[in-house]
Homo-oligomer: A and B are copies of this chain.
Amino acid sequence: MIQIHRLKNGIRVVTDTNPDTASVSLGVWVAVGARFETPDINGISHVLEHMAFKGTTTRSAFDISREIEDVGGIVNAYTGKDMTAYYVKVLKKDWQLGLDIISDILQHSVMDKDELAREQGVIVQEINMSNDTPDDLIFDLYNQVAYPDQPLGRTILGTPENVRSVTSQKLLDYMHHQYTTDRLIISVAGDIDVDDFLKKCEESFTEITKKSGTSAEKARYVGGEIRKSKKNEQVNLILGFEGYGYTDKDYYTAALLASVFGGGMSSRLFQEIREKRGLVYSIYAFNSPETDTGTFGVYAGTGEAEVAELLPVLCDEINRLPDTLDDVEILRAKNRAKARLLMRSENHGTHAESNAIDMIIHGRVVPDEEAIAKIDAVTKQDMACVARQIFAGRPTLASLGPISQVPLYDSVLKRLNYA
């Protein structure tokens, strides 16, 4: 049973109780991420997420991990464009410890200077790992051109120089300024007593700032081209357009369109480019939503020679999509989307996270029935209309690897009839 509560200081709490679970997942999701950063502090949200685990007024960094791992629990965190998450998964008897640690690191972190110096080295390694991973790096390159000179176009990890320039005081200021009661969602899923949980939350979360922080800059999609030569065996490629955000009325339409286009083994791109032509191992289309924009794109990993055949074929598939949608593939996409929802709801371990994300995006938890009704309501006409709208925009082309045979951006524009 899902319930939404509000603490006296305004922090919202989502409880998702289930008596059949052995574990409890709980955490805090904060509606602040890399999009809230100016260029000079790009990366600070992520440094803060790391440093939250480096010691509080009463716990050392080692204590934090040790206390959770002593009872077999898992503690983790991640930083996104629009949110930062801190969570634990523990056996149900240990939920109080889990909540205690999460509330401690969000209110009493000391941001010790020596710990920071070492953690900066760790984060530089994380940046380097990401840069060595082609299917991570290609998305960073894409965003850089799709959203230039704005937070959404910069990376979540930031540059090594920025990471090294962060100070303890900047972290404390950023946390105090941006981690505010209206932006924190406490979310729990598992076999807990709701009253006990709320009581413990009231007692624990007393020092979060009440005044709202600075908002994120609105996204401005531009588009264009980026090529990065690297001696890899594969060319990694994204061809994309501005898509639809989470709260857009056409969100489900765009998701179904991506599914038809390249969302499974029976999708158009998989069939044409992998099954019929053998040009890729991995190809897929996606509508990746943000709060106020989204990316509708296609990712492919292909060969140095194969890319010259792939890209024109991909353009042709884009061109013919709006006018050739058929009822069978739309029904398949709907069934896939609805089955995913049902299968996801079976996996209790993910409920704390999905509920919290719903709270941040929609201010409520969207029931599966509502999502299913919206999926069912999408028509072929809606999809054709959304496809035309998306593909009328300026494309973004990002390529990485042995790129000598990647067709020129102008030839892609021409093939797409982009004026």
The answer, yes or no, to whether A338 is at the interface (CB within 8 Å) is yes
Asked if A336 lies at the interface with its beta carbon under 8 angstroms from chain B, I say: yes
Which of A61-69, A220-228, A389-397 contacts its partner? Answer: A61-69
Quick one: copies of this chain in the complex? Answer: 2
Q: What secondary structure prevails in chain A residues at the interface with B? A: helix
Alpha-carbon gap, A395 to B302, bound state (A): 37
Tell yes or no: A382 within 8 A of B by CB: no
Quick one: closest B residue to A119, CB to CB? B278
Chain B residues within an 8 Å CB radius of A332: 66, 69-70, 72
One of B69, B129, B328 near A266 (C-beta < 8 A): B69
Task: Tell me, yes or no, whether A118 is within 8 Å of chain B by CB.
Answer: yes
Q: Tell me if B20 and A125 are in contact (CB < 8 A).
A: no
A72 touches B22 (CB 8 A): no
A343 to B349, CA, bound (A): 9
- A371 in the interface (beta carbon within 8 A): no
Distance (whole angstroms) from the CB of A139 to the closest CB of chain B: 15
Please indicate the chain B residues that have their CB under 8 angstroms from the CB of A339 in the complex. 23, 71-73, 90-91
Verify if A2 is at the interface (C-beta below 8 Å from B). no
The closest CB in chain B to the CB of A265 belongs to B65
Given contacts A301-B129, A302-B125, A346-B22, contact A69 B233 (CB under 8 A): no
Which residues of the partner chain B approach A119 to less than 8 Å between Cβ atoms? 278
| 14 further A-B pairs in the complex, CB-CB below 8 A; given A121-B278, A131-B233 | A22-B345, A23-B339, A61-B275, A62-B266, A71-B335, A118-B276, A119-B278, A120-B278, A122-B274, A126-B281, A129-B233, A129-B282, A132-B233, A133-B133
A residues adjacent to B (C-beta < 8 A): 20-23, 53, 61-62, 65-66, 69-73, 75, 89-91, 117-126, 128-129, 131-134, 230-234, 264-266, 270-271, 274-282, 301-303, 306, 328, 331-332, 335-340, 342-343, 345-349, 401
